[in-house]
Chain A
């Protein structure tokens, strides 16, 4: 699975959009981009994932560049409760009996400030 590079930490003002970048320049054509977050003392939480197209759900938007070598997770209106470590993961998918798995990197520690 391709490796990812994320900034170690970021700050964001409450109510503003948080844009978290991820570089995955060695991504393969069949690999997805996943985002998870981990709020202190809790298990990780799924946010969003995508293959080629931009994706949006109730939590966030995922913007993937045309060459797929980088992506950005957007939290449109960050709140204090969004303070967490955000993990960008690249994987060929969680397909039963095909060895799929998610390998977590170091992530970005996002601090949302009042």
Chain B
């Protein structure tokens, strides 16, 4: 298993502001991903966080809106920029451990007013 710490666990933000979510893993991992889960919906992959290079974004997600950093093999951040109420979601960090298994953090519940 993996111990994944996400901060903050929840936040309420004002429209137009930005929030940075941190994901810390207890050991080095090769692959890290960021997902979004809108209310009542399934998970949507935002991007793959690549260590030492730019993140790989999925269709519909852009770097200006969701900048991602991954400075080392245990840490990544996702910023939600210029927020609107439509960004209200749970944001989840996930990491790949041995044998094709993805482990997920407990998520950051974001509400935008």
Chain A residues engaging chain B, CB cutoff 8 angstroms? 32, 34, 36, 38, 42-46, 49, 85, 87, 93-94, 96, 99-107
Q: Find A42's partner among B43, B100, B106 (CB 8 Å cutoff).
A: B106
A-B pairs with beta carbons under 8 A, tally: 50
In whole angstroms, how far apart are the Cα atoms of A104 and B56 in the complex?
17
Chain B residues engaging chain A, CB cutoff 8 angstroms? 30-31, 33, 35, 42-45, 48, 56, 92, 94, 96, 100-107
Give the residue among A43, A102, A105, A106 with the most B Cβ atoms within 10 A: A43
Contacts A94-B31, A99-B56, A100-B31 given; indicate if A45 touches B104 (C-beta within 8 A): yes
In this complex, what residue of B is CB-closest to A104?
B43
Q: List 14 A-B contacts (CB under 8 A).
A: A43-B92, A43-B104, A43-B106, A44-B92, A44-B104, A46-B101, A49-B101, A94-B102, A96-B96, A101-B48, A103-B45, A104-B43, A104-B44, A107-B42
Determine the chain B residues whose CB is within 8 A of the CB of A104 once the complex forms: 35, 42-45
The 9 closest A-B pairs by CB, nearest first: A43-B104, A104-B43, A96-B30, A46-B101, A104-B42, A94-B96, A44-B104, A106-B42, A94-B100
Determine the chain B residues whose CB is within 8 A of the CB of A85 once the complex forms: 42
B45 A43 Cβ-Cβ under 8 A: no
Determine the chain A residues whose CB is within 8 A of the CB of B33 once the complex forms: 101-102
Determine the chain A residues whose CB is within 8 A of the CB of B92 once the complex forms: 43-44
In whole angstroms, how far apart are the Cα atoms of A104 and B48 in the complex?
15
Contacts A43-B92, A94-B31, A96-B31 given; indicate if A102 touches B105 (C-beta within 8 A): no
